[in-house]
Amino acid sequence: MPNSKINRILLVVSAVLIILLVLFALFRDTSENITLEDAQEMLKNHEVDEVVATQKYVFLRQGDKLYKIPFALTTPSMFEDYKVKIDTSGSILWYILIAVLIVGSGSIIFRWFQKHPIEDSSTKLKSGTNNDPLELEVEPIKAIQSDVSFDDIGGIEDVKVELQEIIDFLQNPTKYKNFGARLPRGVLLVGPPGVGKTMIAKAVAKEAGVSFYYQSGASFVQIYVGMGAKRVHELFNAAKKNAPAIIFIDEIDAVGKKRDGSRNDEREATLNQLLTEMDGFESQNGIIVIAATNKIDVLDSALLRAGRFDRRVFVDLPTKKERYAILEKYLQKIPNSVDIEKIASITVGFNGATLAAFVNEAALLAIRQNHFEVTMEHFYEVKDKVMFGKKKLVVLNEKQKQHRVTYQSAKVLVATYYDLPFEKLLLSNERLTPPNQETSMLQSEIEAHIKMFLAGVVMCDIKYNEHTSNAKQDLEDAKELTRKMILEYGMGKDIITSEEEVQKTINTLYKQTQDLLLSLEERLFVIEEILLKKEAITKEEVREILSAVS
C-alpha cells in the first residue's frame, strides 16, 4: 500500500516536470548575443527591422533572426534612426502564464487520478471509509449454475451412492431436521488428479438443483494480510444468502496445510476464518461444503475433526469396468467401430481426464487421415502420445535402425513372454509402459518388468557387443525398480538389505534375461524381420510367433 502512494506522488511530480520542460522549450529565450560593435555596425547600415528594449536587454530583429545586447551598454544616440519599442510587462505575463499552466495541469492530473485510481492485476485502489485511506476491492463472489449431471459421468457408482444422501438432504432438509439427524457440514473428496472430483461436486449441485459456489484454495492465498480471511467470509456470506447452496473449494491443501509452527500470518488467518465459518452455520439450512484434495496427509487436523470435514469420499482411479463406462460415454457421439472392452483393458492406470484426452486424440487422428470413423488402430497410434507426450522422431541411419530393431524386438519378446500389459510396439517408441507402482505387485511381476527394461541392452550386447544411448531411460527404470524391490519392498534375501545386494540382484536378472533371449533367438529373428518391414508389431503377433516356432 505505501508503495502505491509513493508511485502516485512520483507520477504527479513527473507530469509537472514534463509540463515545465515543455513550457521551457516553448518560451525560452532564443535570441543570440552580439557585441556592441556588431550592433552599432548593423544599426548604422540600417540592417535592423525592429528594436525592442526591456529592463535588461535591447533586442534587434533582423528578418527571422533576433539579436540582443545588454541595455547598460547602449546609448540613446545609437537608435536615432529607429523607433524603439519599450516592453516592461513581457516577463510578468510569462510568469503569470506559466503559473496558470502549472495550476491548470495539476488540477487536471488530480482529477484524472480521482477517476482512474492505480490498479494492479488483482486489486483496485479506491477512496476508503472507516479512516482507511486506501481499501482493497476484489472481484465479487457469484454463484454458477452447474451443467454437469451424474448421467454425464461414467463409473464412480459407489461415489454416486454415497453422495445421494447429500443430494436428498439439500432437496428435503426438513425430513432430516424433524428426525433429529444432522448431515456432515463438510465432505472431502480425496483422490489423485484427473479422477473428476470437480465434476462430481458440480453433479451434486446439478442433481440437487442448488447454487454452486466454486473457489480454488489458491484464490484465498493473498499478498495482503487479512484479504484471504475476508474472501472466505464473503464466500460463506454469499452462500448463506442463497441457501440451499454448495460451496466447493478445490485444492484445499493450498490453504489448509498443517500448522507446523513456522510463521505465516496470512495463511493461518485464512485457515482460522475457514474453521470459524464452518462452525458458524450450525443453524443454517441447506449449505454443504465440499472440498477436494489429493494430499489429505498434509491437511491440518482441525479441518478433519468431527463437525467440519468429517465425511471423506475416496475417488480412486477407475477400474476396468468403470473405464468401460467412461469410454462408452465419451464415444457416444463419435462414429466408431472399436471394441470398448479392449480399450478399457489397455488403459490400466488412466484417470477420467486421460481417457477423455485418449478418445479425443483418436478422433482427431481419424479426421486428419480423412477416415469416417475411429478404429482400434487410431487408439493404438495415439496411446503413447497421450501417456508420454509427442516426441520428435529421430532420423536413423541404417546401422542405427538395425540396432533399434534388435533393441525393440528383444523388449517386445520379453514383454510378451511374461505377459506384461501392452498391445502394440512401434519401432519409433523408446519405452513400453512402466508398471503402476501404486498397485500391489508380486516379486516375480517386478522382476519381469526389470527383465523387459534390460532386454534391449542385453540383446544388443550379445549381437553387436554395444548398445545405443537410447537405453538410458530403460536402464534407469530397471535400476529404480530393483532398488525399490530390495530396499523398500524387502524382497531380497534378508529383510535388512544393502546397495550391494541391489547390484547383485540386477546382475542376476541381467544374466537370466541373457539366457532367455539366447534360448528364444530363432523367434527373435522372426520378430526383427516383421519390425524392420512394418515398423510396428502387436502383442498378438508376437504370441503367434512364440506359439508357432518350436
Identify the CATH number of the domain defined by range 2-101. 3.30.720.210
Q: Report the top-level CATH class of 150-314.
A: alpha beta
Model pLDDT, residue 283: 47
pLDDT level of residue 1 (50, 70, 90 thresholds): very low
**Cell numbers linked to 23:** 513550457
Identify the CATH number of the domain defined by range 398-548. 1.20.58.760
Q: Distance of CA 241 to CAs 177, 230, 257, Å?
A: 20, 17, 29
Q: Which one has a higher pLDDT value, 423 or 189? A: 189
**Cell numbers linked to 95:** 510568469
Give tens-digit pLDDT for 366-424. 999 899 999 988 888 887 677 666 544 455 677 888 888 899 999 999 999 998 887 77
- pTM, rounded to two decimals: 0.52
What are the residue ranges spanned by the domains of the chain? 2-101, 150-314, 320-388, 398-548
Mean pLDDT of the chain: 78
Q: Are 411 and 470 in contact (CB under 8 A)?
A: no
Residue 100 has pLDDT above 70, yes or no: no
* Average pLDDT value for residue range 509-532: 92
CA distance 539 to 127: 71
Listed range (303-312, 357-366, 392-401) with the worst mean pLDDT: 392-401
CA distance 208 to 220: 27
**Would you call 6 exposed, middle or buried from its count of C-beta atoms within 10 A (0-12, 13-18, 19+)?**
exposed
Model pLDDT, residue 128: 41
Q: Of 459, 433, 461, give the one whose Cα is nearest residue 523.
A: 459
Q: Which one has a higher pLDDT value, 219 or 522? A: 522
Model pLDDT, residue 353: 84
pLDDT level of residue 123 (50, 70, 90 thresholds): very low
Give tens-digit pLDDT for 246-255. 888 888 888 8
Model pLDDT, residue 224: 57
Residue 3 has pLDDT above 70, yes or no: no
Give tens-digit pLDDT for 35-78. 877 878 888 787 788 888 777 778 888 877 888 888 777 777 77
Model pLDDT, residue 262: 61
> Given the C-alpha cell 471423506, which residue does it identify?
312
Give tens-digit pLDDT for 432-483. 666 655 567 888 999 999 999 999 999 999 999 888 887 888 899 899 999 9
Give tens-digit pLDDT for 477-516. 899 999 998 888 888 887 777 888 889 999 999 999 999 9
Q: Of 180, 240, 242, give the one whose Cα is nearest residue 209.
A: 242
Q: What percent of the chain has pLDDT over 90?
A: 13
Q: What is the CATH architecture assignment of 320-388?
A: Orthogonal Bundle (1.10)
**Structural Rg of the chain based on CA atoms:** 41
Best-predicted range by mean pLDDT among 84-88, 291-295, 409-413?
409-413
> Around 470, how many Cα atoms within 13 Å sit in the side-chain half-sphere?
18
How many of the other CB atoms lie within 10 Å of CB of 275?
A: 18
